[in-house]
Amino acid sequence: MTMYGTSIQIAHPESQYINGQWSPACGGSAYALTDPSTEEQLDGFAMGGVSDAEAAIIAARAAFDHGPWPTMDPRERGRLIGALTELLEARRGELEEAWTVQTGALPSMRSRAVNNGLGHLARAADQAAKFEFERRVVSAVGEAVIRREPVGVVTVISSWNGTLLQTASKIGPALAAGCCVIVKPARSTPMEAKIIAECADKVGFPPGVINVVLLASEGGDRLVTDARVDKVAFTGSTQVGRHIASTCGDRIARYSLELGGKSAGIVLDDADIFTVGKIMARTITALSGQLCATLSRVIVSQEKHDALVDAITQEMAVIRVGSAYDAATEMGPMALHKQLQSVERHVSRALEEGCTLAFGGARPKLPEKGYFFQPTLLTNVSEDSAIAQEEIFGPVLVVIKARDEEHAISIANNSAYGLHGSVFTNDKTRALEVARRIRTGSFAQNGMKLDFALPFGGYKQSGVGREGGEEALVGYLETKTILLDF
């Protein structure tokens, strides 16, 4: 048992969980995580390779093809998923702290994040018990049986900014459907997946139903390319998502992708500019801007532009940047040093291309250690510029002028992404009218609002498929039509 932080106990940080057993990573290399607030090294983890990927595929394939899980009474599957949820709830404190030590998430965000993750599992347990997996209908040629059957073996790949939420949103419906899963967390955030594996082991899932492996790139790629894997469920960058889609397309495998975003907040003229400024400043600095659905563009009329810039600047100026362990901190670090460097490059290029820096734009002088960047506001931004089109994944907000409401809607839709968006107005009817015209998977009135019990996903390059709601479960099912004699 290895202790991390003040409460996190990981029994097998160096091992893989395959076929119901813990075993050392094959040919793996030891490495350490880095706490982004302090740059402290968290030792003891090991990356596996292709051999571990192969073992996990064999285990999951055997569990699906020959084990009891796919044909088990769905209510019993639901009971086991519910038991897993309860054991994870008992380790809530560890899950919360793990998010902080790995990504710099503030304590104020942690409880809701764990609620969202465990909520996916709790709803999956309920769906397993209540969903109609088989129904009979009368057809023109005989009695018909419409069956929903599990898609098979599923590779689950999560990003580093929200491992629990992203993993639970996939394994919950996959297990409820009767699939067997291979979970591969990001290299920098394996703790939640390790805890899930420990809890699954205690629950007593049949061997091979849940496998958790920490893999280097070649091993991870095997989980995508291998024909014995029926579906890949991925959260991460659009670049990697494009590779997964292409690879799965070549072998006609199923896939779901939750990718990037460049979400816009449209400010209508009846909105209170001071309130909008506070909301936008606080939204772009939540988790240091490392949320795929964050509002990173704000579109406002030329008449209200200067007032909004002033309001956002005033709010950014009072946001305290610092360690996630300081109770006074309102924005923590970037999760990774390479992400900090990426944000710096994006801002530098924007300034070279003629954008105006209204606030921030650099690392703060304090704290001296950690991966910190100031809340940043850029103006004089063209809607077609790189800073307005590319996902920055940092606390960088751009303001874009619009001639009128029609122009604002056009600017909001001028994006390769389509994940989320918002309109600021006190008129619910106008908000709905605007929402119907924006090409995004979700949209909200007066700020970034998400309910993970509802379908979540993106249009365009923001992804394929949906997580949350019944739509998530259906994504792990195949439909079979059986025709019987009258």
pLDDT tens-digit series, residues 188-209: 999 999 999 999 999 999 999 9
Is the pLDDT score of 27 beyond 90? no
What single-letter amino acid sits at 204? G
What pLDDT sits at residue 473? 98
In sequence order, what are the beta bridge partners of 143? 138, 484
- Region 254-274: mean pLDDT is 98
pLDDT at 285: 98
What CA–CA distance (Å, rounded) separates 395 from 284?
5
Active site residue 330: no
DSSP string covering 71-92: TS-HHHHHHHHHHHHHHHHHTH
The one catalytic residue among 94, 97, 192, 258: 258
Q: What is the pLDDT of residues 96-139, one digit of tens each?
A: 999 999 999 999 999 999 999 999 999 999 999 999 999 999 99
Would you place residue 152 in the very low, low, confident or very high pLDDT band (cuts 50, 70, 90)?
Answer: very high
pLDDT at 289: 98
Span 69-87, mean pLDDT? 98
What is the Cα–Cα distance from 184 to 314, expressed in whole angstroms? 42
Structural domains of the chain ordered from first start: 15-259+462-484 (3.40.605.10), 264-445 (3.40.309.10)
Sheet containing strand 15-18, edge to edge, reads 21-24, 15-18, 210-212, 180-184, 153-157, 231-235, 254-258, 463-464
**pLDDT tens-digit readout, 290-323:** 999 999 999 999 999 999 999 999 999 999 999 9
377-419 confidence digits (pLDDT tens)? 999 999 999 999 999 999 999 999 999 999 999 999 999 999 9
Mean pLDDT across the chain:
98
Length of the chain: 486
State how far the Cα of 234 lies from the Cα of 484, in Å rounded to an integer: 38
Q: In the 8-state DSSP scheme, what is residue 211?
A: E
pTM: 0.98
If DSSP codes are grouped into helix, strand and coil, which group holds residue 441?
Answer: coil
In this prediction, residue 435 carries a pLDDT of: 98
Cβ atoms of 464 and 256 within 8 Å: the answer is yes
Nearest Cα to 60, choosing from 183, 188, 143?
183
When pLDDT is cut at 50, 70 and 90, the band that residue 55 belongs to is very high
Q: H helices within 286-376, ranges in order? A: 302-318, 337-352
The pLDDT score that the predictor gives to residue 28 is 72
